[in-house]
Amino acid sequence: QVQLVESGGGSVQAGGSLRLSCAASGYTVGSSCMGWFRQAPGKERERVVVIYRGGSSTDFDDSVKGRFTISQDNAKNTVDLQMNSLKPEDTAMYYCAAGGSRRSGGYCPRGRAEYRYWGQGTQVTVSS
């Protein structure tokens, strides 16, 4: 059975950094679309980033572009999200997702409904 386990969440001051890790089992990273989503109280779960083209290309949400980076480690079968210059509005539960179907050209879908597998989430809290 596929399992995705997130780690690395916590509480930080604005301007700080966190590195989230998604460890996959029963699933090989890069075999289908995957990425990170987040959900704040009272809001829809939204895309943070999806990774495609074998990990060489990314599709970040505008709200995190330039501050977050994603890396795929095939040897460790993990996908990490490096979050820098964190803002209070980044506060949310962060989820790793996988199992999305690739589109023409190697692009991956942005919608949460397109992903089959989900982790349990890890909380990120940024205080001002």
Q: Which long-range contacts (CB under 8 A, 24 or more apart) does 54-62 make?
A: 54/30, 54/106, 55/29, 55/30, 57/106, 59/35, 59/107, 59/108, 59/110
pLDDT in tens, 51-89: 986 677 899 999 999 999 999 999 999 999 999 999 999
pLDDT grade, residue 104 (50/70/90)? Answer: confident
Q: Is the pLDDT of residue 97 over 80?
A: yes
Measured between alpha carbons, how far is residue 73 from residues 22, 44, 60 in Å? 10, 29, 19
Instruction: Say how far residue 61 (Cα) sits from the centre of its chain.
Output: 11
pLDDT grade, residue 28 (50/70/90)? Answer: very high
* Terminal Cα-to-Cα distance of the chain (whole angstroms): 40
Q: Which residue has 């199992």 as its token pair?
A: 99
Q: Hey, how many other C-beta atoms are within 10 angstroms of the C-beta on 79?
A: 28
